Amino acid sequence: METWWVAPDGSVQDAYWYGNGWNRFELAPPGSAAGGITAVSRISNSMEVWWISPSGSVEGAFWYDGNPWKRYQLAPAGSAAVGSKVAAVSRIDDSMELWWVAPNGSVQDAYWYSASGWNRFELAPAGSAAVGGGIDAVCRIPGSMEVFWVAPNGSIQDAYWYENSGWNRFELSAPRSAAVTSKIAVVSRISDSMELWWVAPNGSVQDAYFYTGAGWKRFELAPPGSAAPGGISAVSRIQDSMEVWWTSPNGSVRDAFWYSNGGWNQFQLAPPGTAAPGSQIVSVSRIPGSMEIWLSGSLGSLIDFYWYE
């Protein structure tokens, strides 16, 4: 596993694990990053990570087995809102795509194919996205991608792409459904389904799920006051299970898990005061019998929780 974060001095830190403990190094020097960090691994011997710099450029770093890390600038200064998050997917092994919010609230898209390199376009016009809000994406089948973001009016916007038919957009949830600073988490546990979560203005956790042929449906996963808008993350480690985590206003970490034969259950994973206010959460499932999550601690530490079956 490998994880990346932005340190208080703006450096990008890298921690990696190969079955024999964790090691760390500095991927980019102080002053390199202001936020919005994400990564994909499109093939087994490569990784790529992106972040937003203090100037609003989008920076990238890539690694191939047997070679050191290399860096490049994907989009110049002023391209991204400094508070923007970045979402990325790799739907096929010779392509990657990522999205971010520009200073004018437009949603920008950059895509890469091994034979043609990087190209960019505007997916949604100015004013479409909340500058400090969440953006996330999923690829449930190789011929499709879907990206979700929070609009300035608190609605959840959805843009989807199918091979040979291009992009389409719609409003998934009405205005004031989401806190404008809420993050979004999304998974696709099976090829004909997706599920996403966000934090509402009243601190409830909202759930929207999709099945082919049935469209989208919504429900409240956790009641008002349950969540702070900062951190929410999810994984599907096996096709009949999902797990989602969020930080609460008192700094505790909550866990909700679902099994196809048992519905949703919740518990407190970490006590009050564990998470820093507004902390983001990152999660991964590297094998079916394990999950791991990381978040910022209340004293500026990086906290790791892991689970083995």
**Closest C-alpha to 52, from 26, 81, 90, 72:** 81
Q: What is the pLDDT of residue 257?
A: 97
> Tokens standing for 62?
């890539």
Q: Report pLDDT digits (tens) over 10-58.
A: 999 999 999 889 999 999 999 999 988 999 999 999 999 999 999 999 9
Could you state, in order of their start, the residue ranges of all structural domains in the chain?
87-308
pLDDT for residue 22: 95
Determine the pLDDT at residue 20: 87
Confidence of residue 298 (pLDDT cuts 50, 70, 90): confident
Q: Does domain 87-308 have CATH number 2.120.10.70?
A: yes
277 has a pLDDT exceeding 90: no
User: How far, rounded to the nearest angstrom, does the alpha carbon of residue 84 sit from its chain's CA centroid?
Assistant: 12
Span 145-155, pLDDT tens digits: 999 999 999 99
**pLDDT at residue 244 in the model:** 98
Tokens representing residue 237 in the block: 């480690």
Q: Is the pLDDT of residue 299 over 90?
A: no
Judged against a pLDDT cut of 90, whether residue 295 lies above it is answered with yes
Which pTM was predicted? 0.95
pLDDT at 286: 92
Per residue in 192-237, pLDDT tens?
999 999 999 999 999 999 999 999 999 999 999 999 988 899 999 9
> Residue 72 above 90 pLDDT?
yes
pLDDT in tens, 255-269: 999 999 999 999 999
The predicted structure's pLDDT at residue 1: 93
pLDDT at 93: 93
pLDDT at 288 over 90: yes
Identity of the residue numbered 225: G
The pLDDT value recorded for residue 189 is 94
What is residue 233's predicted lDDT score, i.e. its pLDDT? 95
* pLDDT tens readout for residues 98-142: 999 999 999 999 999 999 999 999 999 999 999 989 999 999 999
pLDDT of residue 218: 98
Using a pLDDT cut of 70, give the percent of the chain over it: 100
